[in-house]
Copies of this chain bind each other. A is one copy, B any other.
Amino acid sequence: MTDIPKYKLVSRQWKNKKTIIDVKGCKIGGDDLFLIAGPCAVESEEQIETIASYTSKLGIKFIRGGAFKPRTSPYSFQGLKETGLSLLKQVSNTYDLGIITEVMDLSLLDTVYPYTDIIQIGSRNMKNYHFLKEIGKTDKPIMLKRGMDATMEEWLLAAEYILLGGNENVILCERGIRTFDTSNRNTLDIAGIALAKQLSHLPVISDPSQATGNRDLIKPASLASIAAGADGLMIEVHNDPKKALSDGPQSLYLEQLGDMMPDFAKVAKAVGKTCSWSHKHEIVNV
A residues within 8 Å of B by Cβ?
1-8, 68, 70-77, 104-108, 124-125, 127-131, 133-134, 147-149, 151-154, 157, 160-161, 164, 177-184, 187-195, 198, 208, 211-212, 214, 216-217, 220-221, 223-229, 244-246, 248-249, 263, 266-267, 269-271
- Report yes or no: B182 in contact with A151, Cβ–Cβ below 8 A: yes
Among candidates B129, B134, B211, residue contacting A71 with C-beta atoms closer than 8 Å: B129
Contact B130 A68 (CB under 8 A): yes
User: Which residue of B130, B228, B244, B269 is within 8 Å of A221 (Cβ)?
Assistant: B228
Residues of chain B with a CB closer than 8 A to A248's CB: 1-2
Q: What 6 A-B pairs are tightest by C-beta distance, nearest first?
A: A149-B149, A194-B220, A227-B227, A152-B183, A124-B127, A5-B73
Q: Are A77 and B2 in contact (CB under 8 A)?
A: yes
Contact at B180–A195, with CB atoms within 8 Å?
A: no
Q: In the complex, what residues of B have CB within 8 A of residue A154's CB?
A: 72
A242 to B, closest residue via Cβ: B2
Q: Which of B106, B130, B161, B187 contacts A189 (CB 8 A)?
A: B187
Residue from A127, A224, A263 whose CB has the most chain B CB atoms within 10 Å: A224
> How far, in angstroms, from A131 to B74 measured CA to CA in the complex?
12
Chain B residues in 8 Å Cβ range of A151: 180-183
How many copies of this chain sit in the oligomeric assembly?
Answer: 4
A241 to chain B, nearest CB (A): 11
Shortest CB–CB separation between residue A197 and chain B, in angstroms? 8
How far is it, in angstroms, between the C-alpha of A154 and the C-alpha of B70 when the chains are bound? 12
In-complex Cβ contact of A220 among B77, B134, B188, B227 (8 A): B227
Knowing A76-B2, A129-B74 touch, does A194 contact B182 (C-beta < 8 A)? no
Give Cα A7 to B198, complex, Å.
35
Residues of chain B contacted by A157 (CB below 8 angstroms):
72-74
Least CB distance, A219 to chain B, in whole angstroms? 8
In the assembled complex, how far is the CB of residue A7 from the closest CB belonging to chain B, in whole angstroms? Answer: 8
Q: Which of A179, A188, A191, A269 has the most CB of B within 10 A?
A: A191
Residues B195 and A249 in contact, CB atoms below 8 Å apart: no
B-side contacts of A128, CB under 8 Å: 70, 104-105, 124-125, 128
Shortest Cβ distance from residue A94 to the other chain B in the assembled complex, whole angstroms = 27
- Residues in B neighbouring A5, C-beta threshold 8 A: 72-73, 75-76
* Besides A74-B133, A187-B191, 16 other A-B contacts (C-beta < 8 A): A1-B249, A3-B246, A5-B75, A71-B129, A74-B157, A104-B130, A107-B134, A124-B128, A147-B149, A187-B192, A191-B212, A191-B220, A195-B214, A224-B224, A224-B225, A267-B267
